[in-house]
Amino acid sequence: MSFVEYGDTIKDGDTAIVFLGHESMFPVKVQHGTVTQTKYGVIRHSTDLIGKKYGSKVTCSKGGWVFILHPTPELWTMNLPHRTQILYSTDISIITMMLELKPGSIVCESGTGSGSLSHALIRTVAPTGHLYTVEFHQQRAEKAREEFREHGVEHLVTVTNQDVCKNGFGVSNIADAVFLDIPSPWEAIGHAKSALKTEGGRICSFSPCIEQVQRTCLAMEEYGFTEINTLEILLRVYNVRTVSLQIPDLGKAAEDNSSIGFDCSNPSNQGSPCPNLQQGTVQFKSSVPLREMVGHTGYLTFATKS
């Protein structure tokens, strides 16, 4: 199993996603002799998972069932253990596009955090690219290394435990893009410039506060970056539902139409009131935004090394 290479069969040691529903799923490490408890009963790894195909429908001990899915960066973002605040697919998608990433790209990242963005970056630059990710916190850096190894992507990423604002990324003039998600990104702009390739490299800084953005933009200008712009991405989800409305009583106009032999089935009369439907209802599909919407996550500031 690898997050960048699809495998058909569930194997011992794989990370799989147990799918109970769109709003209910969780990751599990498949191990021989282990069981996983769900609200539908027990899943026995040896008999229910190992050797089965990804996407299989597995019946639990209480008679309920779940699907076992192959992990992807998108599913991992929704189910990973949170060690820090993470970036979600809405921001990740625009970051990947605006940094112009592709297979073979070299990317520097700080900080690693919970690895949500890291997995997406690795999948984008595979199979010939590389991610250099820097994490200040030692325990988080060690946990990230362990996860990358378990997920079969350790050959595509180098994890470094150091302060990027003081020590940089540990590479020079090779990166196609740099991503910063740290409290004071303006202190790391110089190191980012050193890590980027000689000309044309892209940089992105994620900051929740506009004051951080202002200081970062000033630092970018000071170091000669161009095309500086800041975006905020908001996700608005709609619910599609069936609405039933009573057809209004149009009174005398409808009676007049009926008295002169009004034909409801005639295409030329479409849109006109039909007498025999005056007391009925009509159903149609309608979409409405959710009452609660995900609000501000952070500002994304992009720039190009001139």
Query: Exposed, middle or buried by CB within 10 Å (0-12, 13-18, 19+), for 49?
Result: buried
The CATH code of domain 9-71 reads: 3.10.330.20
Q: Cα(132)–Cα(170) distance, rounded to whole angstroms? A: 9
Q: What was the pLDDT predicted at 276?
A: 46
Does the pLDDT value for residue 144 go beyond 90? yes
Per-residue model confidence (pLDDT) at position 253: 56
Q: Which two three-digit tokens encode residue 104?
A: 């073979």
Extract the annotated binding site. 114-117, 135, 163, 181
Segments making up each domain of the chain, as ranges: 9-71, 76-234+296-305
Cβ neighbours of residue 110 closer than 8 Å, sequence gap 6 or more: 133, 134, 135, 136, 164, 169, 179, 180, 181, 182, 188
Closest CA to 140 of 86, 185, 89: 86
List residues forming the annotated binding site for S-adenosyl-L-methionine. 114-117, 135, 163, 181
89-98 vs 116-125: helix axis angle to the nearest 10?
A: 40
Q: Average pLDDT, stretch 136-164?
A: 96
Lowest mean pLDDT among 1-15, 18-32, 170-184, 234-248: 234-248
94, 100, 104, 106: CA torsion to nearest 10: -90
**pTM of this structure:** 0.84
Q: Is the pLDDT of residue 75 over 60?
A: yes
**Spatial distance between the Cα atoms of 57 and 66, rounded to a whole number of angstroms:** 6
Which parts of 113-251 fold into alpha helices (H)?
116-125, 138-150, 164-167, 189-195, 210-222
- C-alpha 188/C-alpha 123 separation (Å) is 25
Confidence of residue 166 (pLDDT cuts 50, 70, 90): very high
What is the DSSP secondary structure assignment for residue 45, as one 8-state letter? I
Q: Give the pLDDT confidence score for residue 268 in this predicted structure.
A: 56
In this predicted structure, the answer to whether residue 186 has a pLDDT above a threshold of 90 is: yes
Separation CA 300–CA 84 (nearest Å): 18
- pLDDT higher than threshold 90 for residue 54: yes
In the chain, pLDDT over 70 holds for what percent of residues? 91
Out of 65-79, 221-235, 285-299, which region has the weakest mean confidence (pLDDT)? Answer: 285-299
Q: What confidence score (pLDDT) does residue 267 get?
A: 55
CATH of domain 76-234+296-305: 3.40.50.150
Which residue has better confidence, 76 or 239?
76
Confidence of residue 244 (pLDDT cuts 50, 70, 90): confident
Q: With 80 as the cut, is the pLDDT of residue 262 above it?
A: no
**Whole-number average pLDDT of the chain:** 90
Average pLDDT over residues 103-111: 97
Token pair listed for 88? 């979600």
Report d(CA 40, CA 303) in Å as an integer: 50
Cβ density class 149-164: b for 16+ within 10 Å, e for less: eebbbeebbbbbbbeb
The answer to whether residue 118 scores a pLDDT higher than 80 is: yes
Q: ω before 27 within 30° of 0 (cis)?
A: no
- Alpha-carbon gap, residue 17 to 14, rounded angstroms: 10
Q: Is the pLDDT of residue 216 over 90?
A: yes
Whether residue 98 is predicted with pLDDT greater than 90 in this model: the reply is yes
Contact (Cβ atoms closer than 8 angstroms) between residue 262 and residue 249: no
Is the pLDDT score of 76 beyond 80?
yes
Mind spelling out the 3-state secondary structure of 76-144? HHHHCCCCCCCCCHHHHHHHHHHCCCCCCCEEEEECCCCCHHHHHHHHHHCCCCEEEEEECCHHHHHHH
Compute the average pLDDT of residues 47-55. Answer: 95
Residue 248: what pLDDT?
A: 79
> What is the C-alpha to C-alpha distance for residues 22 and 45, in angstroms, rounded to an integer?
22
pLDDT, greater one: 249 or 119: 119
Largest CA distance in the chain: 89
Six-digit token pair at 208?
């929740």
| Mean pLDDT, residues 195-223 taken together | 96
